[in-house]
Amino acid sequence: MTYKVFIDGRHGTTGLKIDERLAGREEIEILTIPEAQRKDARVKAEYINAADVVFLCLPDAASKESVALLAPGNTRTRFIDASTAHRTNPEWVYGLPELNAGQRERIRNAQKIANPGCHATGFILLMHPLVAAGIVSPEFAATTYSVTGYSGGGKEMIASYEDAGELPQSMKSPRFYALGLTHKHLPEMRTLSGLKHLPLFTPIVGDFAQGLVVAVPLPASSLAQRKTPAELQAFFADYYKGETFIKVMPADTSGVLDGGQLPATACNETNRAEIFVFGNDEQILLASRFDNLGKGASGAAIQCMNIMLGLDEARGLAA
């Protein structure tokens, strides 16, 4: 069977990666809107309603406009939205199959999927299981930070790094951003983790194209159930047991670090997320590492598409 796929916003960073990852898949037919008609709502509506799956790789407002073009009564066309527009909307299913035991089936049956944000994916993979199990209280005042490649900032940021010739000294150093503490991923980070308060989140961009590490400090005294790092590692290993794309790293991390360090790029070009637990009896640090353009964007979207269409979930994706 052939499935028709329309990528609305095909020329953006995520859209290009989805297009690239779907190229050569014989069961997928990509519907390509003529360039001159790309912004014609009437023509776009025809493509949306002809598709089995529509990937929305657009700003929030444009994403909502495209969803509104779905014809009344059309229950066949299914959406996977890569914007932040619908991630906490209860009418949309959150596209993280590994979230809990029932999430994969919700995705399978959904017409509208909200693809997770990259930073949010890392935070939720770490915090949702702990809150759900009562190890971390919903009242916990979480702090998190991330180190990410510049591709996560979209075309403008990519151009500022890649088209600038010699980078100014200030851009050669990792740079904190979103210092107003209102990053657009915060609502989903709170809602999907089960926390009652927004985490204090500070992302950092570095002079490398892609790759991401999200870290969450956990003072042992703040846990609702006191756990050692080894016990938390065992908990995560059991929680994500059998998951193709989630790899919980061993409690003894000496063999998986790079000279005792944790580079952000080791999962690039895959859909794999790795989970680490570091620390001692008093201080614990959780970390998740993955490709911000893979499990953090296009890979996650394709994983959801595979589930929705009843295909092998890992088809076209590297673990």
Q: What is the set of active-site residues?
A: 118
Q: Report the sign of the C-alpha dihedral through residues 297, 302, 304, 305, in that order.
A: positive
Place of tokens 């914007």: 83
- What are the distances in angstroms from CA 126 to CA 120, 292, 293? 10, 16, 19
Q: Output the six-digit token pair for 134.
A: 């009562």
In the chain, % helix, strand, coil (3-state, to 5) comes to 35, 20, 45
- Distance between CA atoms of 61 and 52, rounded to whole angstroms? 22
Taking the C-alpha atoms of residue 139 and residue 197, their distance in angstroms, rounded to an integer, is 7
CB 3 within 8 A of CB 53: yes
d(CA 109, CA 248): 28
Cα–Cα distance for residue pair 6/193, rounded to 1 Å = 31
DSSP state of 26: T
Tokens of 243: 């998951």
In the β-sheet with 93-94, what is the strand arrangement from edge to edge? 28-31, 3-8, 53-56, 78-81, 112-114, 93-94
